[in-house]
Chain A
Amino acid sequence: MTGFGDVPQRLAGNSYVVDEDSHIAIDQDLARKTGDGKLLVRICPAQVYSENDDGSIGILFAACLECGTCLALASPGVLTWHYPNGGFGIAFREG
């Protein structure tokens, strides 16, 4: 712990313009087959990905910092990921 709260608490201090539509989609079967689900949970700095009880992967797209780490590391086809629609998503005030 850093004294600055856990990741969700820290993200709560960020500024976001949340879209209705998710900019991230996952192929659950492929994620299970490749084992990428656990990888995504681990590497995302914003903890967008979580593993559900049934092994499927939950996506909290509204927390996304739009870095692209998940897309760069996931096996091809597992993720459909693009930037949020214009004007939506993270809005850095410091940067």
Chain B
Amino acid sequence: MIEKETDDVDADVIVVGGGVAGALCACQIARSGRQVILIERGGQPGSKNLSGGVFYCRVMERIFPDFLEAAPIERHITRNVLCFLNPSSHFCIDSWDRRLADPVNAVTVLRARLDAWLLEKCEEAGVMVMPGVRVDALLTAGDRVTGVRAGTDELRARMVVAADGVNSFIARSAGIRAREPAKNLAVGVKSVIGLPAAVIEDRFRVSGNEGVAYAMVGDCTQGVAGGGFLYTNRESISVGVVMRLDDLDAKGVSSSRIHDHFLAHPAVAPLIKGGELREYGAHLTIENGPAMASHDIARPGLLIVGDAAGFTLNTGLAVRGMDLAAGSALAAARAIDRAFERTDFGQRMADDYRAELDASFVGADMKTYARAPEFLENPRMYEDYGPLLADIFLDILRLDTTPKSRAAAIAAAAFRRSPVTLFQAATDMLKGGRAL
């Protein structure tokens, strides 16, 4: 900690991290006429950034009205498939709805391209982007954050925005955040597999720039809490698994082997057949955003946005990070704007940020889904419901020349064979309805 009181600043605001949250926050502050430096550790903007790939993008219209036409987005998601996956069967709910294309509700993105574009937009708005620089620590004066240190260089500003992602070394080194419990985190392991657009459109029954998003649970992660995903890009497929860290630890399995198991699964392999691997990557994600974001997200002279603050939600069907990153960036930018008008970057700015969040969809959705993580901890979701559903439908469909039972009797028999009781299933449905 370096304590030095000075009015010599290099910029009004320093933003650490060039992901969705950092870029949008920097852009908005610069548009208000303030001097902003954005520091990004990747040599090329976007080169450190990776996500599953579905961006619920309505929020972007507020920042870039031409986002859908101008940004490097992949496909508009109109088909969503939720699957319970078993070793040799699956049970899926398949929803295709063109209303999801008008207005466009969600798009697939590849972050190395999207984030590079966002940082170009920042530069157009007047942000000074510094790529290839790793911030090592915050500078402080008393309890106030006054800048950052990168190697031997020091940069000072009226305030700092930490947008340095899920690992947020800044929040941790400043003592704002303790080590995160493993059950609040998950690791995503992902392959991007190239395929011609025509093959993707035929294989996934989508046309033009429409695309599909699969969310799967069960045998994809060999019973580890988490799931598999598969998203279509324009000329590639993002496919991989997400595994909750405490369960990955407890089950004694290998993360890369689970990824390989999923890609080789008989229900998944045909979807990526003939493709060519373009990239293999991994990234941490947040399983319990509401718990993480309920901690401190501000200090005098410092606001924390995006994943660094814990703004991610797993709602069972949709895993949301980028839209909440954008929403938190907008809330922070508004609070910062008022802080400059008052030249008060202390508690009032922190309170303003919380109030802006609570008044937006970010705060509201973090509350709505506060109980989702607890519900999704239920091991029956990953182990028992897939086989149960498959068994019921198998016995309804299979004709073996013996007299058939009615569906209700078949279901009752399947429940007797399953470790799940009818009461548990009913309770889980009710709880799921309330939590999700």
- List the interface of chain A (C-beta within 8 A of B): 1-5, 7, 10-11, 13-14, 17, 39, 42-47, 65-69, 71-73, 76, 82-95
Tell which of A17, A65, A85, A87 touches B281, judged by Cβ atoms closer than 8 Å: A65
Residues in chain B within 8 A of chain A (CB atoms): 41-44, 46-51, 110-115, 131-134, 150-151, 166-167, 169, 179-180, 182, 185, 187, 189, 191-193, 236, 245, 248-249, 252-256, 259-260, 263-264, 269, 277-284
Cα A30 to Cα B249 in complex, Å, equals 18
CA distance A82 to B253 in the complex (A): 25
- Do A45 and B48 have beta carbons less than 8 Å apart? no
Q: Would A13 and B113 count as touching, CB distance under 8 A?
A: no
Q: Do the beta carbons of B182 and A95 come within 8 Å of each other?
A: no
A-B pairs with beta carbons under 8 A, tally: 145
- Please tell me which one of the listed residues A17, A42, A47, A72 contacts residue B245 in the complex, with CB atoms under 8 A apart: A72
Known: A73-B182, A94-B278. A87 touches B191 (CB 8 A): no
CB distance B284 to A95 under 8 Å? no
Q: Tell me which residues across on chain B come within 8 A of A95, comparing CB atoms.
A: 46-47, 49-51, 110-115, 279, 281
| Contact of B277 with A67 in the complex, beta carbons under 8 Å | no
Q: How far is the CA of A17 from the CA of B47 in the complex (A)?
A: 11
The residue on A at minimum CB distance from B46 is: A95
**Measured CA separation A71–B245 after assembly (Å):** 11
Contacts of A91 in B (CB 8 A): 42-44, 47-48
Cβ-defined contact, B263 with A2, below 8 A: yes
Residues of B within 8 A of A86 (CB): 41, 43, 132-134, 150-151
Are B279 and A68 closer than 8 Å at their CB atoms? Answer: no
Given A85-B134, A94-B192, A94-B236, A73 contacting B249 (CB threshold 8 A): yes
Q: Could you tell me if B282 and A65 are in contact, using CB atoms closer than 8 angstroms?
A: yes
Cβ–Cβ contact B185 & A72, under 8 A: yes
- A11 near B280 with CB under 8 A, answer yes
Given A42-B253, A92-B49, A72:B280 Cβ within 8 A? no
Which residues of chain A are near B279, meaning CB under 8 Å? 13-14, 92-95
Per DSSP, are chain A's interface residues mostly helix, strand or loop, or mixed?
loop
Rounded to whole angstroms, the CA-CA distance of A47 and B248 in the bound complex is: 15
Is A67 a contact of B191 with CB atoms below 8 Å? Answer: no
Which residues in B have their C-beta under 8 angstroms from that of A66?
48
Given A13-B277, A73-B249, A86-B43, 12 other A-B contacts at CB below 8 A?
A: A3-B269, A10-B277, A43-B255, A45-B256, A68-B284, A69-B284, A83-B169, A91-B44, A91-B48, A92-B279, A94-B236, A95-B112
- Say which residue of A2, A67, A83, A89 sits within 8 Å of B284 (CB atoms): A67
The docked-state distance in angstroms from the alpha carbon of A52 to that of B412 is 53
Given contacts A2-B263, A11-B280, A45-B187, contact A69 B255 (CB under 8 A): yes
Residues of B close to A14: CB separation below 8 A: 279-281
B251 closest partner in A (C-beta): A42
Distance A68 CA – B187 CA, assembled complex (angstroms): 9
- A47 closest partner in B (C-beta): B256
A31 vs B282: C-alpha distance in the bound complex, in angstroms?
A: 23
Q: Considering residues B167, B193, B252, which has the most beta carbons from chain A within 10 angstroms of its beta carbon? A: B167
**What are 28 A-B contacts defined by CB distance under 8 Å?**
A3-B264, A4-B263, A5-B277, A10-B277, A10-B280, A14-B280, A65-B281, A67-B187, A68-B284, A69-B187, A69-B255, A72-B179, A72-B182, A73-B182, A82-B169, A83-B134, A83-B167, A86-B41, A86-B150, A87-B131, A92-B112, A92-B281, A93-B47, A93-B279, A94-B236, A95-B49, A95-B111, A95-B115
CA distance A93 to B169 in the complex (A): 24
Instruction: Verify B255–A44 contact, CB threshold 8 A.
Output: yes
A11 to chain B, nearest CB (A): 6
Select the residue from A5, A87, A90 with max chain B CB neighbours within 10 A: A87
CB distance from B114 to the nearest CB of A (A): 8
- What residues of chain A lie closer than 8 Å to B278, measured between beta carbons? 13, 93-94
Among A65, A84, A95, max chain B CB count under 10 A is at A95
Contact flag A13-B280 (CB < 8 Å), given A73-B182, A87-B42, A92-B111: yes
A15 to chain B, nearest CB (A): 8
B115 to chain A, nearest CB (A): 7
Chain A residue contacts of B133, Cβ below 8 A? 86-87
Partner of A92, one of B46, B191, B256: B46
In the assembled complex, which residues on chain B have CB atoms less than 8 Å from the CB atom of A39? 249
Query: Is the pair A92, B280 in contact by a Cβ cutoff of 8 Å?
Result: no
Bound form: Cα–Cα A4–B260 in Å? 9
